[in-house]
């Protein structure tokens, strides 16, 4: 008797195919949707969009967060920086050391305290050097620094001195405020220049930063400053949890006024009971192995206290 094997073949093939599909579906569920409670507990992060503040000011001037375009620009900068956790934590630590110095100089010069966040936006509170050659906490160029009372030569570069460079930045900002009429405009001009800001304001018939189309970097600049203000002022509530002991403290030092040249800074350091490295750490504006002091000139060098 001849047996027709086609139905058996088709049945078997169909059964195998069904089993394969079920196996694949089961694999997919186990891998992507049916994580075990233990696996869920091991998820390292839960990503979310940090909430924007309802209201905000810069240097006492209101930020128009009721406008969709302004909220979205701030949201962009906040997202970019909020998840740069290590950078924010390091800035927080550095703020313990440098904010007291910067705040004191801003106050002494009559410049709003919020400008310390401009300093953060410029350099992350470090003596950085940009690709364009801007240097220091406040990122002065070599050709602009001398106009703001900063000595810059092969041996001395006051752009690396946080107090002197903060005073220089204050001088610029006060000039810009007097010319442009608002602290927000003055801050924006720190990025694009007073001339560029003025020309764009004249062409677009408005002096309001939030209504201007400026160079791309300047369009983001104020929002970057505002982002650092929001993150640093509300760090704990936003999840950046440092103890007070985690912050770097100001380095206490004694000051020595130098009125004559120093031919060898290593020998000078040893004579003062310290090291060349410590001299450079406390006085990063010293850029060579020696210091020439011209007649009638003097420099103040910071030295470690005896118990440090």
289 shares a domain with 208: no
| Pick from 175, 202, 177, 222: nearest CA to 64 | 222
Same domain, 224 and 167: yes
Give the CATH number of the domain where residue 64 resides. Answer: 1.10.530.10
Distance, first Cα to last Cα, the chain: 106
Q: What is the DSSP string of 107-176?
A: HHHT--GGGHHHHHHHHTTS--B-TT--BTTTTB-TTTGGGGT--BSSSBBGGG-HHHHHHHHHHHHHHH
Q: What is the pLDDT of residue 20?
A: 52
Q: Which domain holds residue 29?
A: 12-41
Report how far Cα 225 is from the mean position of its chain's Cα atoms. Answer: 8
- Distance, CA of 65 to CA of 72 (rounded, Å): 9
72 part of a folded domain: yes
Look at residue 151 and tell me if it is in a domain.
yes
- pTM (predicted TM-score): 0.85
Per-residue confidence (pLDDT) for residue 46, from 0 to 100: 77
- What is the secondary structure of 233-255 as a DSSP string? HTTTTTT----GGGSPPPPPEEE
Which token pair is 189?
């001009």
Query: 299-304 and 253-258: which strand pairing?
Result: antiparallel
Is residue 114 within 8 Å of 63, Cβ to Cβ?
Answer: no
233 and 263 together in one domain? no
User: Among 207, 224, 246, which residue terminates a domain?
Assistant: 246
Query: Would 49 be classed as within a structural domain?
Result: no
Distance from C-alpha of 108 to C-alpha of 102, rounded to nearest angstrom: 10
> How far is the C-alpha of 193 from the C-alpha of 57, rounded, in Å?
22
Same domain for 144 and 97?
yes
Residue 7 lies in a domain: no
> Is residue 32 domain-resident?
yes
- Same domain, yes or no: 227 and 266: no
Is residue 5 included in any domain, yes or no? no
Alpha-carbon span 43 to 66, nearest angstrom? 36
230 and 257 in one domain? Answer: no
289 shares a domain with 196: no
Please give the tally of structural domains in the chain. 3
**Residue 207 neighbours by CB under 8 Å, 6+ apart:** 180, 181, 182, 185, 201
What pLDDT sits at residue 34? Answer: 62
Which residue, 206, 221, 246, sits at the end of a domain? Answer: 246
75 plus 181 within the same structural domain: yes
Same domain? 152 vs 95: yes
211 lies in the same domain as 129: yes
Same domain for 80 and 193: yes
Does residue 258 form part of some domain? Answer: yes
Q: What is the mean pLDDT of each run of 10 residues along the chain (308 residues)?
A: 48 52 48 59 77 96 98 97 96 98 98 98 97 96 97 98 98 98 98 98 98 98 98 95 96 96 98 97 98 96 82
Residue 51 inside a domain? The answer is no
Same domain, 162 and 37: no
């Amino acid at each position: 008797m001849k047996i027709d094997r086609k139905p058996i073949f088709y049945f078997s093939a169909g059964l195998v195919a069904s089993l394969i599909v079920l196996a694949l579906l089961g694999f997919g569920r186990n891998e992507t949707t049916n994580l075990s409670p233990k696996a869920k507990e091991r998820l390292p992060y839960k990503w979310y969009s940090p909430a924007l503040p309802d209201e905000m000011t810069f240097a006492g001037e209101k930020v128009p967060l009721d406008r969709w375009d302004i909220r979205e620009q701030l949201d962009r900068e906040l997202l970019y920086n909020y998840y740069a956790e290590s950078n924010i934590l390091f800035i927080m630590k550095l703020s313990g050391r440098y904010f007291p110095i910067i705040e004191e100089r801003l106050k002494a010069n009559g410049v709003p305290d919020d400008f310390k966040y401009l300093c953060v936006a410029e350099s992350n509170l470090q003596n950085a050097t940009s690709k364009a050659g801007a240097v220091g906490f406040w990122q002065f160029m070599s050709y602009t620094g001398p106009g703001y009372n900063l000595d810059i030569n092969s041996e001395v570069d006051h752009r690396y001195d946080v107090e002197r460079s903060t005073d220089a930045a204050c001088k610029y900002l006060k000039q810009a405020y007097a010319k442009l009429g608002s602290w927000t405009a003055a801050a924006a001009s720190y990025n694009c220049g007073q001339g560029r800001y003025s020309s764009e304001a004249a062409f677009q018939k408005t002096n309001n930063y939030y209504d201007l189309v400026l160079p791309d970097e300047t369009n983001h600049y104020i929002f970057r400053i505002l982002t650092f203000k929001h993150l640093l002022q509300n760090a704990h509530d936003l999840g950046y949890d440092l103890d007070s002991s985690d912050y770097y403290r100001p380095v206490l030092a004694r000051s020595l006024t130098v009125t004559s040249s120093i031919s060898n800074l290593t020998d000078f350091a040893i004579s003062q009971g310290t090291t060349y490295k410590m001299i450079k750490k406390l006085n990063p504006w010293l850029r060579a192995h020696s210091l020439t002091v011209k007649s009638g000139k003097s420099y103040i060098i910071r030295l470690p206290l005896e118990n440090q």
